[in-house]
Amino acid sequence: MKVLKNTVIKLEPGKASNHALDPDLVKRCISGDEQAWEQLVYRYNRLIYSIALSLCREPEIAADILQQVCLELYRRLDEVRKLESLASWVATVTRRKAYTYLRSKKPTEPLFDAEMVASRDVLSNIERQHMLQRALATLPPRSRRLMELLYLTEGVGTYEQVAAELGMPVASIGPTRIRCLKKLKKLLG
């Protein structure tokens, strides 16, 4: 792997990505393609930062962990065995870096088991949200917008409002919603 020059890892809003692109992108990274490296970091920076922040609860520490995980990814990318599960590998490395930080920090008060359970629940929720974002990204734009309006946007409550927003008949909303949900369930299942 070639050393990247002037690469600065910035926390930018990550875009949902497609797992099918990861193996090709990783191969390009290993062969020294700097643009591929930037794409890979962009693809996973939100996941890494979210996990680190949920465990450490300090933005500066989460940003440091993001840098550490990206460095680890760069150093060990050619050792990843299952390229299609790169997101899981990244999440595991992030958790380990966060736990290492937490262990090195002298607690001023004892950590309670309830806090650790809550952290795991938050982490699981973040990973599920990341998977959902990836699945939503595979839907056609109009279907994706329908799902966003129905489930992710506040203030849009009725089928009439959604139909007006999308310019489609009210009677089409329900059947289209069901098809989208089935496709998402298949992708996530």
CA–CA distance, 64 with 96 (Å, rounded to integer): 13
Between 113 and 10, the more confident residue is 113
Q: What residue spans define the domains of the chain?
A: 1-105, 133-189
pLDDT digits (tens, 9 = 90+) for 50-77: 999 999 989 999 999 999 999 998 888 8
Say which residue the tokens 């497609």 belong to: 18
The predicted structure's pLDDT at residue 12: 45
The predicted structure's pLDDT at residue 108: 54
The predicted structure's pLDDT at residue 69: 93
Model-level pTM greater than 0.85?
no
b/e per residue 66-80 (b: at least 16 CB within 10 A)? bebbbebbbeebeeb
> 88-91: which pairs have CB atoms within 8 A and are 24 or more residues apart?
90/44, 90/47, 90/48, 91/47, 91/51, 91/127
Query: Environment class of residue 52 by beta-carbon count within 10 Å: exposed (0-12), middle (13-18) or buried (19+)?
Result: buried
pLDDT digits (tens, 9 = 90+) for 120-170: 777 788 888 888 888 888 889 998 888 888 887 777 668 888 888 899 998
Kindly indicate the confidence band of residue 6, based on its pLDDT and cuts at 50, 70 and 90: very low
The 10 Å Cβ neighbour count of residue 36 is 17
Write down the CATH number for the domain with range 133-189: 1.10.10.10
Is-contact 46 16, C-beta < 8 A? no
Write down the CATH number for the domain with range 1-105: 1.10.1740.10
